[in-house]
Structure 1
Amino acid sequence: MAVKVLVVDDSGFFRRRVSEILSSDSGIEVIGTATNGREAIDQAMALKPDVITMDYEMPMMDGITAVRNIMQRCPTPVLMFSSLTHEGARVTLDALDAGAVDFLPKNFEDISRNPAKVKQLLCEKILSIARSNRRSTSFSPSPAAAPVSAPTSASVAPAPAPRAPAITPTSAPVRRKAYRLVAIGTSTGGPVALQRVLTQLPANFPAPIVLIQHMPAAFTKAFAERLNSLCRISVKEAEDGDLLRPGVALLAPGGKQMMIDGRGQIKILPGDERLNYKPCVDITFGSAAKAYADKVLAVVLTGMGADGRDGARMLKDAGSQVWAQDEASCVIYGMPMAVVKANLADAVYPLDDIGRHLAEACN
């Protein structure tokens, strides 16, 4: 059955182009369009799409208000389109708080210059979001179909033989240890997930933290500022030369790679075009394994694909601990699933328990 999509945008050109791109995929059907937020609510209730694409700046009613109303009246996965500006980042983060699942940059030049790449990215997003959320129209916990895993961006040896039976959320007590670093990797659904985890940490959290969130370069500074305003710990966008400090979370800058050396210093490197993700969880996790061996506690949260699995394997081989978010609380059960299926997870926890368990483990 084709994924039914409602396209919402006040630009006739953008509505047509998005509709054409989506309709070119046999697995997707555009069942309607809307020109403002009010129309979007009416169409969502009448047509019951599987996914909605939404602009944020529209007449009559903006996209964020529309998302809030849709989540209250007929919960439906929403993919936001946003501008690559600081203000666009702020508004997009507001939309994610309101209930949107994910976002894509709204770049007219890319659509005209590289239509094949745009088609692949947009259609993959739509299909993965729909596949993940078909478990329930209201996003209640139940088994979800696994999203297609994207290729990982780090090349390492194949997975070894299974180490242990699959871990269940209730089977893994928190292991306390003097961790020298907490490393958290995430993608789709990550902005809200990170907010829920980090706001549970006390101001005197004893370990340094690094955060790797798949996000464009224009967004990470605004995201770090938002987290810093909400959390008791300090959060900032990482810069080359930053030193790891207890109670400070450093967010990898978008479009680049973040590594850690044995002195606890951050290295920010240009994003390699050969890598799928910039920043890449595998890259940061791998450097942490080399720098701190068994003194790292890594967490893989919601996200599409399998980034983090190979880095988690390097951390496990060095003796470190790896946690994964459970399926029921994930927006997209891709990255944590890859870690769990490779038998690399020491514990699997619901999202709302992870912050509390981090505070216990590092106490």
Structure 2
Amino acid sequence: MSIKVLIVDDSSFFRQQIKTIINSDARLRVVGEAANGREAIEKAEKLKPDVITMDYEMPMMDGITAVREIMKQHPTPILMFSSLTLQGARVTLDALDAGAVDFLPKSYERVSGNTDSLKKVLIEKLITIAKPSTASRSGLTTSTTPPPSRPSSSAKKYPQRFELVMIGTSTGGPVALQKVLTQLPANFPTPILLIQHMPGSFTGAFAARLDSQCQINVKEAEDGDTIQPGTAYLAPGGMQMMLTAKNKLKVLEGDARLNYKPSVDLTFGSATKYYGKNVLAIVMTGMGADGREGARLLKQSNNVIWAQEGSTCVIDGMPSAIVKADLADEVVPLQDIPQRMVTVVS
């Protein structure tokens, strides 16, 4: 049984292009189209799609309002199409807050060209964020299977004095990071490095939003930053962030062979030379396995690795990869991560 998709966009041209891409894969089937947010709510209820693609700027009702209403009335995984602009970044973050699962940068050139790269990433995202029950009925493999269980004790203690916290995330990460960072006190005693898979035009707006919401300071990392306690440094999208000395950041283009920019593996691995065993690294919600090899390097120096508990992830591919590789010291539900951080780091 194929995954049912509802396309929401006020442009008939975009709807047709997206429909062509989606229907080119036998695992997916477009079951309906909507030209505005109000129509999207009605068709989501009537057609019961497994996943929805959502535009933002539409007549009668915008995409964010539609997302919020759909998630209230009949929760469905939603993929936002957003422009690569500052406004596009802000809208995307609002949509994720409203309940959208993920987003995809949208431009006329990219969609009209019907490029193989767009086709590949769109299909992959739709299949991954579709309801797990539908995926299993279709014989599809997704990264939403709960990872192998490992006991997590809130009383667990570690012998080292932590000097650095690093957090790697991807799909579902912006909302998860917000939930964690907003619970940390202003006097949090270590610097925090954040590696979130996100386009370059989005990370500045995301860092600014987090900074306005949190007691700690949050900034987009810059080349040459000296990292300070009580401050979180977000890796710029499209770039790599690494430590080149204790407390010193380097932001650079990085090797084109790396799949992710920024790469959790690269940032994690760069800390092993300067912090001994005094790093707490946390791998949270996301597709794929980025962070596993970096965590492996950290583990060789007896650093501590946590994985977010699978049922609290939007997509548990990344933390599940940590657990399956036997690298996790603890598997921690999202809601418990901030207090556990404060407890063990303090």
Q: CA deviation at 1:276?
A: 1.1
Contact persistence 2:283–2:319 (CA under 8 A): yes
After superposition, the C-alpha distances for 1:18-62 in whole angstroms (9 at most, x for unaligned) are 110000001000000000000000000000000000001100000
Please say if 1:334 is aligned against 2:317: yes
Please say if 1:306 is aligned against 2:289: yes
Q: Which structure 2 residue ranges, 5 or more long, are not aligned? A: none
Please say if 1:14 is aligned against 2:14: yes
Structure 1 pair 23/351, CA: closer, same or farther in 2 (3 Å)?
same
Q: CA deviation at 1:273?
A: 2.7
Q: Distance in 1 between matches of 2:219 and 2:129?
A: 29
Q: Distance in 2 between matches of 1:225 and 1:276?
A: 26
Structure 1 pair 338/28, CA: closer, same or farther in 2 (3 Å)?
same
Q: Distance in 2 between matches of 1:244 and 1:39?
A: 48
Contact persistence 1:172–1:347 (CA under 8 A): no
Partner of 1:140: none
* Structure 2 SS opposite 1:289: coil
Aligned match for 2:143, one of 147, 165, 169: 147
- Amino acid of the structure 2 residue aligned with 1:9: D
Partner of 1:318: 301
Q: Distance in 1 between matches of 2:141 and 2:209?
A: 32
RMSD of the TM alignment (CA)? 2.0
Structure 1 pair 145/355, CA: closer, same or farther in 2 (3 Å)?
farther
Partner of 1:87: 87
Q: CA deviation at 1:169?
A: 3.2
Partner of 1:51: 51
Partner of 1:234: 217
Q: CA deviation at 1:178?
A: 1.8
Structure 1 pair 4/96, CA: closer, same or farther in 2 (3 Å)?
same
Please say if 1:286 is aligned against 2:269: yes
Q: Which structure 1 residue ranges, 5 or more long, are not aligned? A: 137-143, 150-164
Contact persistence 2:21–2:114 (CA under 8 A): no
- Choose 85-94 or 285-294, whichever is displaced more: 285-294
After superposition, the C-alpha distances for 1:185-212 in whole angstroms (9 at most, x for unaligned) are 0000000000001111100000110000
Partner of 1:120: 120
Partner of 2:195: 212
What TM-score comes out, normalization by structure 1 length?
0.90
What TM-score comes out, normalization by structure 2 length?
0.94
Partner of 1:187: 170
- Amino acid of the structure 2 residue aligned with 1:3: I
Contact persistence 1:10–1:35 (CA under 8 A): yes
Q: Distance in 2 between matches of 1:272 and 1:184?
A: 21
Aligned match for 2:331, one of 341, 348, 352: 348
Q: CA deviation at 1:170?
A: 4.2
- Amino acid of the structure 1 residue aligned with 2:24: S
Q: CA deviation at 1:175?
A: 3.0
Q: CA deviation at 1:121?
A: 0.4
Q: Distance in 2 between matches of 1:231 and 1:299?
A: 19
Contact persistence 1:243–1:265 (CA under 8 A): yes
- Amino acid of the structure 2 residue aligned with 1:216: P
* Structure 1 SS opposite 2:273: helix
Q: Distance in 1 between matches of 2:157 and 2:118?
A: 43
Structure 1 pair 135/13, CA: closer, same or farther in 2 (3 Å)?
closer
Partner of 1:3: 3
Q: Distance in 1 between matches of 2:211 and 2:305?
A: 25
After superposition, the C-alpha distances for 1:66-86 in whole angstroms (9 at most, x for unaligned) are 000000000000000000011
* Structure 2 SS opposite 1:291: coil
Structure 1 pair 145/123, CA: closer, same or farther in 2 (3 Å)?
closer
Structure 1 pair 132/182, CA: closer, same or farther in 2 (3 Å)?
farther
- Amino acid of the structure 1 residue aligned with 2:257: R
Fraction of identical pairs, as percent? 61
- Amino acid of the structure 2 residue aligned with 1:319: N
Q: Distance in 2 between matches of 1:348 and 1:176?
A: 19
Partner of 1:25: 25
Q: Distance in 2 between matches of 1:124 and 1:313?
A: 27
